[in-house]
Structure 1
Amino acid sequence: MGEVRTCPSCGEFFNYVGVRDVCYKCAQKEEEMYQMVYRFLRKRENRAATVERIVEATGVDKELLYKWVRKGRLHPAVFPNLGYPCDNCGRLTTTGKLCERCAKELKDDLRAFEAAKEFRENIQKSERATYLSNQDKKEK
């Protein structure tokens, strides 16, 4: 059983069952726009078109293009200048939520954090060991 949601495109209520994030009428309109974009991109001279060029030629919203690339309906392997914005910096990417540069920076930061954490733990262990050995000598 689905839940009642408001269509983000037109504001109408629709039964959301996990398949489409818009109502049936808007989904039909999106499909028509997708077919128009796909026909445009299938022409050899348009295969390397940028997002801006596609928007200019077809009138389709950028966000719809990004949605189709994210969902795998338009493949960057076939259309090399397509992608969607990185969640961190906004550069176009074709996989995941982050571009390669942001993913690398995040991994480097995590490695540095882990190294610093390990260093702090080693210092605390050595201080604790020194403290306990001195305490043991005083008790005897």
Structure 2
Amino acid sequence: MELSNCYRCGKLFAKAYRNICQDCARDIEAEYTRCADYLRQNRQATVIELSDETGVSTRQITQFIREGRISVANMPNLAYPCEVCGEFIRDGHMCENCRRRLMNDLERAKQDNSNANAASDKHSTGTYRISEN
């Protein structure tokens, strides 16, 4: 049996299938229940409002959404911040603008790398031989 420290509270525990201890797992389930109960009565809630009313961190609420435990389908105002710019999004980690900018940057880096390789190939056209006399 592997022993590990809980990433949430730091307590040493026998790791089974989670990276958190039983106490923290119980706390997270209680937080989820508070969020789900609140959302059943307040479908127009935002993540900030949900956090303020339940005492659950926005980070944990975002995790519930990403895990699919809280669905944003019937919650028109339930969104969380893009990890890059902070714009509110309803899925993934980045907004469309940041995702597009990242793809453009990757494409430009790939093109720069291709141009650098072509330039180095152009400068090294000769071969060398060592002759034995």
TM-score bracket for this pair, using the shorter chain length? 0.7 to 0.9
* Deviation, structure 1 residue 121: 4.1
- Rounded to whole Å, the distance in 2 between the matches of 1:128 and 1:13 is 59
1:24 to 22, 25, 30: 22
What residue is the counterpart of 2:32 in the other structure?
34
Secondary structure at the aligned position of 1:76 is classed as coil
* Deviation, structure 1 residue 80: 3.3
Q: TM-score, normalised by structure 2?
A: 0.74
What residue is the counterpart of 1:78 in the other structure?
74
Letter in 2 for 1:17: A
Letter in 2 for 1:11: G
Does 2:88 match 1:92? yes
**What is the RMSD computed on CA atoms of the aligned residues?**
2.5
> 1:69-119: per-residue Cα shift (whole Å, max 9, x none)?
121111222323334443323333333332222111010111222233334
* Deviation, structure 1 residue 26: 2.0
Task: Check conservation: 1:5, 1:14, Cα contact below 8 A.
Answer: yes
What residue is the counterpart of 1:136 in the other structure?
none
Q: Which runs of 5+ in 2 are unaligned?
A: 127-133
Task: Check conservation: 2:6, 2:20, Cα contact below 8 A.
Answer: yes
User: Alpha carbons of 1:99 and 1:15: their partners in 2 closer, same or farther (altered >3 Å)?
Assistant: farther
Q: Which stretch of the first structure deviates more once superposed, 3-12 or 30-39?
A: 3-12
What residue is the counterpart of 2:131 in the other structure?
none
What residue is the counterpart of 1:5 in the other structure?
4
Letter in 1 for 2:113: K
Secondary structure at the aligned position of 1:22 is classed as coil
Task: Check conservation: 2:4, 2:14, Cα contact below 8 A.
Answer: yes
1:116 to 104, 112, 117: 112
Letter in 2 for 1:42: R
User: Alpha carbons of 1:39 and 1:117: their partners in 2 closer, same or farther (altered >3 Å)?
Assistant: same
Q: TM-score, normalised by structure 1?
A: 0.71
* Deviation, structure 1 residue 32: 1.7
Query: Runs of at least 4 residues of structure 1 off by over 6 A?
Result: none
Task: Check conservation: 1:70, 1:84, Cα contact below 8 A.
Answer: no
